[in-house]
Amino acid sequence: MMIKIGDSLPQMTLMKATPDGPEPLETASYFANRTTVLFAVPGAFTPTCSARHLPGFVERRDDFTAKGVDQVACISVNDGFVMGAWGESANATGQIDMIADGNGEFAQALGLDMDSSGFGMGLRSRRYAMIVEDNVVKALNVEEPGTFEVSSADYVLNQL
Q: Is the pLDDT of residue 159 over 60?
A: yes
Q: Does 8 reside within a domain? A: no
Instruction: Output the pLDDT for position 13.
Output: 97
CA distance 113 to 22: 22
Q: Does 4 reside within a domain? A: no
Which pTM does this prediction carry?
A: 0.94
Query: What domain range includes position 33?
Result: 13-128+136-159
CATH code of the domain in which 142 resides: 3.40.30.10
Q: Does 149 reside within a domain? A: yes
CA distance 6 to 154: 23
Give residue 38's pLDDT band: very low, low, confident or very high (50, 70, 90).
very high
Cα–Cα distance list, 35 to 59, 107, 130 (Å): 19, 20, 10
The pLDDT > 90 percentage for the chain reads: 80
Considering only CA atoms, which of 71, 57, 77 is closest in space to residue 15?
A: 77
At 68-116, the pLDDT tens digits run 999 999 999 999 999 999 999 999 999 999 999 999 999 999 999 976 6
Q: Is 74 a catalytic residue?
A: no
* Count of domains observed in the chain: 1
- Pick the catalytic residue from 14, 44, 49, 69: 49
